[in-house]
Amino acid sequence: DAKTTQPTSMDCAEGRAANLPCNHSTISGNEYVYWYRQIHSQGPQYIIHGLKNNETNEMASLIITEDRKSSTLILPHATLRDTAVYYCIVRVFRNSGNTPLVFGKGTRLSVIA
């Protein structure tokens, strides 16, 4: 799986959009971009994933650049409960289905009141 690079930490004001960047310049054509987050003392939580197109769900939006070498996770209206470590993961789907997740150190997002 391709390597990802994320900033170590970021701050965001409550109610504002949080934009979390991720670089994955060695991504292959069949690799997806996944985002998970981990709130303190909890297990990781799936947020969103995408291949080429931008994706949106009830939690967040994922913007993938046209060359797929980077992406941005957007939390449109950050709340204090969004304070967590956010992991960007690049992952290939094998024929055998879900593969284990390879986590980096992630970005620690602090939402400030």
Partner 1 sequence: DTGVSQNPRHKITKRGQNVTFRCDPISEHNRLYWYRQTLGQGPEFLTYFQNEAQLEKSRLLSDRFSAERPKGSFSTLEIQRTEQGDSAMYLCASSFYLSLAGGRTYNEQFFGPGTRLTVL
Residue nearer to partner 1 on the CB measure, 66 or 95 = 95
Nearest distance in Å: CB 110, partner 1 = 16
Q: Which residues form the interface with partner 1 (CB under 8 A)?
A: 41-46, 49, 85, 87, 95-98, 100-106
For residues 68-78, b (16+ Cβ closer than 10 Å) or e, as one string? bebbebbbeeb
Q: How far apart are CA 101 and CA 89, in angstroms?
A: 7
Residue nearer to partner 1 on the CB measure, 36 or 70 = 36
Residue nearer to partner 1 on the CB measure, 13 or 101 = 101
- What single-letter amino acid sits at 98? N
Q: How far apart are CA 49 and CA 61, in angstroms?
A: 9
Nearest distance in Å: CB 19, partner 1 = 21
CB 90 within 8 A of CB 23: no
Q: How far apart are CA 49 and CA 38, in angstroms?
A: 16
Residue nearer to partner 1 on the CB measure, 45 or 65 = 45
Nearest distance in Å: CB 86, partner 1 = 11
Nearest distance in Å: CB 66, partner 1 = 26
